[in-house]
């Protein structure tokens, strides 16, 4: 019987959904005001959904195609870029955005305060990566 959905796409969807459910749960436990739409598309937070989704599909590629395949090499490159970007680039941009917001507020400049998107801490990326590995293995096992 033909699979209805690609295991690669299934891994991505499952990792994204589960990472955001976990983010929602953590926000709830911390007593934050919950907004489902915001929580589904929030930037930053524990765990990294970027890391979870990229590592989940990477894991499925590894298990289905093998570590010597060209697609595994490409998937590895994408995971490294995504995780580096989440911790180094996006985190730095978020910190700069926060500083700009503070300057605007303190100087009373008449400009719109820009949104500041947050990146991830290394721990958030590690947690997302571990979540992605688990989801990737589960997707592999259940879509054989």
Here the tokens at position 127 are: 């947690």
Here the tokens at position 129 are: 């990566």
Which positions ≥6 away from 87 have C-beta within 8 Å?
119, 120, 121, 122, 125
Residue 144: pLDDT band (50, 70, 90) is confident
What was the pLDDT predicted at 42?
66
Q: 109 or 59: which carries more pLDDT confidence? A: 59
Quote the CA–CA distance of 6 and 110 in Å, as a whole number: 50
Name the least confident of 69-73, 86-90, 127-131, 137-141. 86-90
What is the tens place of the pLDDT at every residue in 62-116?
999 999 999 999 999 999 999 998 888 777 777 777 788 888 888 888 887 777 7
Domain boundaries, the chain: 7-142
What's the rounded mean pLDDT across residues 40-57? 86
What was the pLDDT predicted at 75?
97
Long-range contacts of 21-25 (CB under 8 A, 24+ apart): 22/46, 22/47, 22/131, 23/47, 23/49
Quote the CA–CA distance of 101 and 109 in Å, as a whole number: 10
**Omega before 60 within 30 of 0, i.e. cis:** no
């Amino acid at each position: 019987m033909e699979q209805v959905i690609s295991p690669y796409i299934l891994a991505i969807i499952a990792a994204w959904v589960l990472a955001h459910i976990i983010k929602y749960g953590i926000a709830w436990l911390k007593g934050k005001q919950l907004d489902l739409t915001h929580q589904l598309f929030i930037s930053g937070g524990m765990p990294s959904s970027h890391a979870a989704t990229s590592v989940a599909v990477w894991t499925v590629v590894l298990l289905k195609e093998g570590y010597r395949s060209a697609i595994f090499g490409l998937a590895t490159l994408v995971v490294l870029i995504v995780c580096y970007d989440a911790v180094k680039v996006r985190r730095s941009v978020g910190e700069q955005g926060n500083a700009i917001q503070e300057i605007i507020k303190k100087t009373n400049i008449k400009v719109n305060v820009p949104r500041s998107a947050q990146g991830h801490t290394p721990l958030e990326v590690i947690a997302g990566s571990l979540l992605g590995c688990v989801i990737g293995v589960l997707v592999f096992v259940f879509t054989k």
